[in-house]
Structure 1
Amino acid sequence: MLEFLNDLLWGKVLIGVLITLGLWFTVASRFVQFRFFGQMFKILSGKQLFKHEQQGHLSSFQALLLSVAGRVGGGNIAGVAVAITLGGPGAVFWMWVIGLMGMATSYFECTLAQTFKKAEPDGTYRGGPAYYIRRGLGKKWQWLAALYSVLLLVTFGFGFTAMQSYSVATSFEDAFGIPTYYTGIALALIVGLIIFGGVKRIAKVSEVLVPVMALGYLGITLVVLGLNIEHIPDVIVLIVKSAFGLNPAIGGGIGAAILMGVKRGLFSNEAGLGSAPNVAAVAYVPHPVNQGIVQAFSVFIDTLILCSCTAFIILLSGIYDPATIASQGGVALTQSALADHVGEWGRMFVSIALLLFGFSTILYNYYLGENSLNFFSEENQNLFNAFRVMIICLCCWGAIMDLGTVFAFADITMGFLALANLLALALLFKTGLRVMRDYEQQRKEGIETPVFDATKFSDLNIDPAAWDQQPAQQDATDLPAANNTLKATS
């Protein structure tokens, strides 16, 4: 039954829905991911990206790193290797395609998450698909919001947490000979120390961890590319030809290439799943589009950069042989490929990279689970603490168990999760376009930093407290003067 549902969802339904909606979002928005590509870097270099101290908000930059921490995980190392094993080099091309279209999908889902976010008493925000379904679509769609929250909790909070622990533990056992239960216990202890500090502590850890792991992995790939620079054009040609079945069938032919490229691409960058909007809604931004643009860039980082790193490491190596590749798929293939380029220490490097990627993803998965629980029972600390204990136990259990059934079940729930979110995005697409046009109109009027005025959207069920811009508009240098004026008035 699991295999049947998996084949139905990923082999037929989701491929069509993802590509159709991705193209629709791209064309109807006039290729927003390309038009705003330069704006991504401008926002990343702007002061507003880092402003978060007012009212205890997280910054847009912290939300970006937290979402990258979630997107960048085992899928970038093991997932790409599996895609190449089962779908051939052509799977990489379709991962790129789904990544480029996913940038538009992620832009809209994260813009909507910001638009319909909810202000919390402690000065933070909550948001995500469950919130924009309930607020944007109304009470008659409450069932879809509840279903989405349950699927998010089961898929990310439970299934993917155990899976990440398993991937990290087995990789360390292969590279260093460390028993899996030792790795599971150590992982559980460190995760526990962080998640009991809440989202702010998770964001602080991600602020340090994500740049180190992403730049480190990119750096080793640049070394590999430098060592094999004359073969790069051949690999690119191989990827493109295999994508369209112009080479002898490798790993199952063009059908398998498309299937694995779409499936692993979505698994890696999560565009359309609705997971990243839960984090995108947490940040303070002057306008929802700001965070939409930033989150579209995180898809680019994940799929077009980091997934490509793994693909080129494998395809440029001397151990890549379509006839024998199936015998060492997943992490082992990436480890062997890097070891072929730089020596045996490459195996250890992949294991450490997977540890960092997996560790950051566990923190991200925890927050998604917490956000799901919050939808049903707002700020219930006892419930949160019980969930934190469960996450710690899952880190231990996942490291030592054979999780084949868990993986298959998580694939299915992830498919239904995507369908629920994509339905909501299709129904709210006009609202997303309306918010985008408000941002663009302000830019046309010469406003450098557009500001979202919730009163212009009074027909939407927006939380006005989440868009009380005045306190956050002041720079820290203005605060003393403002305080003196207040005292004088008193």
Structure 2
Amino acid sequence: MSILEGFFGLIGDLTWGWALVPLLVIFGLFITVLTGFAQIRFFKRMFRVLSNSNQSGDPNAISAREALLVSVGGRVGGGNIAGVAVAITLGGPGAVFWMWAIALVGMATSLVECSLAQLYKTRQADGSFRGGPARSILHGLGQEFRWLAIVYAVCLLLAFGLGFNAFQGNTVAGAMQDSFGLDRLYTGSFLAVVTGLIVFGGMRRIAKVSDVIVPVMAISYITMALVVIILNITSLPAVIASIFSNAFGFEEAVGGGMGAAIAQGLRRGLFSNEAGLGSAPNVAATADVRHPVSQGITQSFSVFIDTIFICSCTAFIILLGDVYVPGAEGVDGIVLTQQSLVAHLGSWTQYFLSIMVLLFAFSSIIYNYYLGENAMTVITKNPMAINVLRLVIIGIVFLGATAPDATAVFFFADPLMGLLAVVNLIVLMMLLPTCLRILKDFRKQLDAGVARPVLNPDDFSDLDIDRTAWTGKVPD
């Protein structure tokens, strides 16, 4: 076991600990410039998806909004509550600015990776779609790169499908035990049963559940943060000033100053919004839209919601209170956020936060499951493998909730996510010219007065795309 831990530790050092974060930032800036600041140019268009619904009449069709909410449910998790608190403690208030900055850059990266996932998606026998970086490799780079698609799929399955689902189960059970005194066995059993009911219904049921859960949890958390901000409105200007002054080293809240703020803000921001990691494109590909770029724009909005909205809520809850101690060692992010809420609004909020953790973690579980399922369809064509995977993930969730020490077995999750990001970035670099082509097509149609651009497969006959995926499209 020590050899395995050392091996995966080396992978983690060579990715997250060495070059991956700077590479994601530089590549994001590069994409931003090449796409003509698409995340800003199309910003108003992003909000159109909120009123979108499935208009095709096909029960297997996933609307743009449903795909958005599934991806938001996956991106929004413990990192938005605990991760932000840790970033502020170790990096000072300035870390919040750099989280915002990486979100704006990541919006462009997400637009590109999700547009490519849409372009190379394939229609399934039941009319639904599958796609993602693995299929982008197979159809965009060719079958000679199938080995790379398999590497990607295995990393996705192990990291998200298994590892992170165990951690999510552990997070929920711990929160419910601390706040309500609920035994882990009961929480684990409940999670396992509900997870089973949803995952055995496939992507369509996952989308329907997310369409309900995600708006409730997001609006509830944002509302709570707004109450805190309103109650402390006179302190808000000073907090915002401290965020900017610490971000650029004019004030130093923690040791390391501006460097600590940048490091913590960028790292926590990337962990939270997942832009460039290659996970969200798997969900983005399921949407039934007219043009690949329209879903890329939608998923760019998902990054904005995750970081600019949800992460900022946690930041203001903490910074507007007096519980936060800069540079404190051994900080528990959940506890800091919880204590800050209690100081603002009373002890009842610890129960509110526990419910939020439950919703955040559960939405992540079903999102992680789908990533694992999609990866499995690349690894093997055996239909029984999906049912086996569903049973395994139900067991993993239960194990993670009831036996917290068992989560240590999944030490490979973070390193494999780093490897996943490296593979995804390589693919994006190789397929970026193709994405720029479809982006040009999208803009050309908009300039010609087309309100909802449509992809014409005949205009891209040189690409290996599934023509059946681009017929009879519904409005996006």
Provide the residue aligned with 1:98 in structure 2.
102
The 8 Å contact of residues 55 and 474 in structure 2, kept in 1 or not, is answered as no
Matches within 5 A, 1:8-87: 8-45=14-51, 49-54=53-58, 56-87=60-91
3-state DSSP of counterpart to 1:446: coil
Distance 1:225 1:192 in 2: 39
Provide the residue aligned with 1:339 in structure 2.
342
Q: CA deviation at 1:32?
A: 0.3
Q: CA deviation at 1:204?
A: 0.8
3-state DSSP of counterpart to 1:370: helix
Distance 1:474 1:39 in 2: 14
Matched residue type, 1:295: Q
Provide the residue aligned with 1:222 in structure 2.
226
Distance 2:257 2:64 in 1: 42
Provide the residue aligned with 1:155 in structure 2.
159
Distance 1:239 1:4 in 2: 34
Q: CA deviation at 1:468?
A: 1.7
Matches within 5 A, 1:160-309: 160-250=164-254, 252-309=256-313
The 8 Å contact of residues 43 and 290 in structure 1, kept in 2 or not, is answered as no
Q: CA deviation at 1:198?
A: 0.8
Moved more, 363-372 or 138-147: 138-147
Q: CA deviation at 1:236?
A: 1.5
Q: CA deviation at 1:143?
A: 1.6
TM-score for both structures, normalised by structure 2:
0.94
- CA distance change for structure 1 residues 160 and 27 in 2, over 3 Å: closer, same or farther? same
Provide the residue aligned with 1:386 in structure 2.
388
Residue 420 (structure 2) aligned to one of 417, 425, 434: 417
How many residues end up aligned between the 2 structures?
469
Q: CA deviation at 1:462?
A: 0.5
C-alpha deviations, 1:276-334, integer Å up to 9, x for none?
Answer: 110111011011111011110011000111001011111111111226x4354221111
Distance 1:292 1:110 in 2: 5
- CA distance change for structure 1 residues 251 and 185 in 2, over 3 Å: closer, same or farther? farther
Distance 2:266 2:13 in 1: 13
- CA distance change for structure 1 residues 474 and 317 in 2, over 3 Å: closer, same or farther? closer
Q: CA deviation at 1:244?
A: 2.6
Matched residue type, 2:424: N
3-state DSSP of counterpart to 2:277: coil
Provide the residue aligned with 2:118 in structure 1.
114
- CA distance change for structure 1 residues 340 and 25 in 2, over 3 Å: closer, same or farther? same
C-alpha deviations, 1:217-260, integer Å up to 9, x for none?
Answer: 00000000001111111111222222233323516433332222
The 8 Å contact of residues 84 and 251 in structure 1, kept in 2 or not, is answered as no
3-state DSSP of counterpart to 1:12: coil
Distance 1:42 1:390 in 2: 38
- CA distance change for structure 1 residues 287 and 205 in 2, over 3 Å: closer, same or farther? same
% same residue: 53
The 8 Å contact of residues 103 and 299 in structure 1, kept in 2 or not, is answered as yes
C-alpha deviations, 1:411-460, integer Å up to 9, x for none?
Answer: 21111111110111111111101001111111111111111101110101
Matches within 5 A, 1:471-482: 472=473
Q: Are 1:455 and 2:434 an aligned pair?
A: no
Q: CA deviation at 1:367?
A: 0.3
Provide the residue aligned with 1:359 in structure 2.
362
The 8 Å contact of residues 166 and 407 in structure 2, kept in 1 or not, is answered as no
Distance 1:403 1:6 in 2: 20
Residue 466 (structure 1) aligned to one of 466, 469, 473: 469
Provide the residue aligned with 2:353 in structure 1.
350
Long gaps (5+) in structure 2: 1-5
Q: CA deviation at 1:208?
A: 0.7
3-state DSSP of counterpart to 1:122: coil
Matched residue type, 2:88: I
Moved more, 263-272 or 79-88: 79-88
Provide the residue aligned with 1:483 in structure 2.
none
Provide the residue aligned with 1:488 in structure 2.
none
Provide the residue aligned with 2:3 in structure 1.
none
- CA distance change for structure 1 residues 301 and 27 in 2, over 3 Å: closer, same or farther? same
Matched residue type, 2:398: C
Distance 1:334 1:111 in 2: 35
Q: CA deviation at 1:3?
A: 5.2
- CA distance change for structure 1 residues 3 and 257 in 2, over 3 Å: closer, same or farther? farther
Distance 1:216 1:414 in 2: 30
Matched residue type, 2:345: V
Q: CA deviation at 1:54?
A: 3.0
